[in-house]
Each structure stands twice: as C-alpha cells, then as structure tokens.
Amino acid sequence: MKKTATGKVIGILIIVVCLGYAASLFKNSSMDYVPFAEAAKATDTTVQIMGAPAKGSMYYDDAAHMLHFDLDDGKGTTMPVVYKGPKPEDLDTAMSKASKITAQGTYSKAQNKFVAENLLVKCPSKYQGQGESERSYGKT
C-alpha cells in the first residue's frame, strides 16, 4: 500500500512541476504593448512597442547591417529604433508603405534607442482589398 501512495505523490509532484514550468514559459512568451515612456524604462525586459514609421527617418546601414528608423505613437512622441539583421529583400517597398510597425526588444540607454529583435510590419496590400497585410522580420 505504501508503494502505491508514494507513486501517486511522486506523480502529482511531477504534474505540478510540469504545470509550473508551462505557466512560466507562457508568461515569458506573452508580451504586452507598452507606451514609449514605459519602454524607455524597460532596459532589462523585452517589451513591444507599436507606431507608425516617421516619414524620412528610415535608413539601412549596409556596413553594420542595421536598420534605423523612428516610430511615432500618434500622440506626438517618437522613439528611435534600431534593428540589426540582414536587409530584407522587400524592405524598401514594405517599410515605405508601412502603416504600423510593431517592434519587440529592449531599450538601450547607452544608444538612447529601442533595440528591436523582431519587427512586424503592417502595410496596405492591393491583394487584401481594403485590409492590411503583415510581414515579420527577426527571430522566430
């Protein structure tokens, strides 16, 4: 009888540990959108910001493989963003027509910029009718 009770306790403990681990993974994978001011304070936490690309602010540094641009939150605040990675083939058309960009990353006080690990670009599409299409860049 003791072996059966011990086995049940061990089984329950394993289930509890697995559920706790799964909950921690889910918590880490879900990111909330934060305002630019809050993102500037989140230097050690990955967050998401969203805004429209500021006109004329986008350029790609071929030597450093970095995309630089400013996001406008629609409330008069802009956030400089840098994304390191290879230049996507359709960058010029997608980014120039982008209506909104979501950037996931952390704020670097040293660079005074938001350092994006991933970008999600929403742009109007002639294939979507009146809707928008999405393009994703970065780590998946």
- What pLDDT is recorded for position 89? 61
Per residue, the 3-state secondary structure of 93-122, as one string, reads HHHHCCCEEEEEEEEECCCCEEEEEEEEEE
The token duo for 137 is 């860049």
Give the model's pLDDT for residue 26: 61
Q: What is the pLDDT of residue 82?
A: 94
The rounded distance, in Å, linking the Cα atoms of 72 and 80 is: 9
Structure tokens at 76: 């008069």
CA 31/CA 48 separation, integer angstroms:
6
- pLDDT tens, per residue, the chain with 140 residues: 466 778 788 888 888 888 777 776 665 555 678 899 998 988 888 899 999 888 888 888 889 989 999 999 989 899 999 998 877 666 666 666 777 888 999 999 998 999 999 888 876 664 455 444 555 556 54
- Measured CA to CA, the distance from residue 8 to residue 65 in angstroms comes to 55
- Structure confidence at residue 127 (pLDDT): 46
Q: Which residues have CB under 8 Å from 14's CB, separation 6+?
A: none
Q: What predicted TM-score, i.e. pTM, was given to this entire model?
A: 0.67
- Return the ∠ at Cα 41 (arms to 118 and 97), rounded to 5°: 35
Question: Other C-beta atoms within 10 Å of 31: how many?
Answer: 13
What per-residue confidence (pLDDT) applies to 71? Answer: 93
